Amino acid sequence: MSFQTRDGRNWIPQYLISIDPKKCIGCGRCFKVCGRDVMTLKGIGEDGGLINADDEDDEIEKKIMVLNDQGACVGCGACARVCPANCQTHSSAESEAA
């Protein structure tokens, strides 16, 4: 699937397909530039499981971004451009189908 920009240049969307929890620093920059709720902030608990980041009852070892609604991604790549940790993986629709 490819599209064109307003001036006719070819453009292939690069969709967010994963976020590496080991690399993510939970800064939230990607969340702030994405208006489509593709990602959300979660906490990693003492046992290594994901918990709500705002849950005050649990001890949070680290906060990370996780995929919330992968299907809502439009492939603009804004999240990748602002990520200081380079923790995201993006792919075109063609490579997903292959």
Helix (H) or strand (E) holding 80: helix 78-82
This prediction's pTM: 0.85
Contacts of 43 (CB under 8 A, 6+ apart): 50, 51, 52, 53, 55, 58, 60, 61, 62, 63, 64
Copy the structure tokens of residue 82: 């602002």
Residues 1-55: tens digit of each pLDDT: 678 999 999 999 999 999 999 999 999 999 999 999 999 999 998 888 999 988 7
- Position of tokens 């976020």? 19
Contacts of 40 (CB under 8 A, 6+ apart): 31, 65, 66, 68
Residues 64-78: tens digit of each pLDDT: 999 999 999 999 999
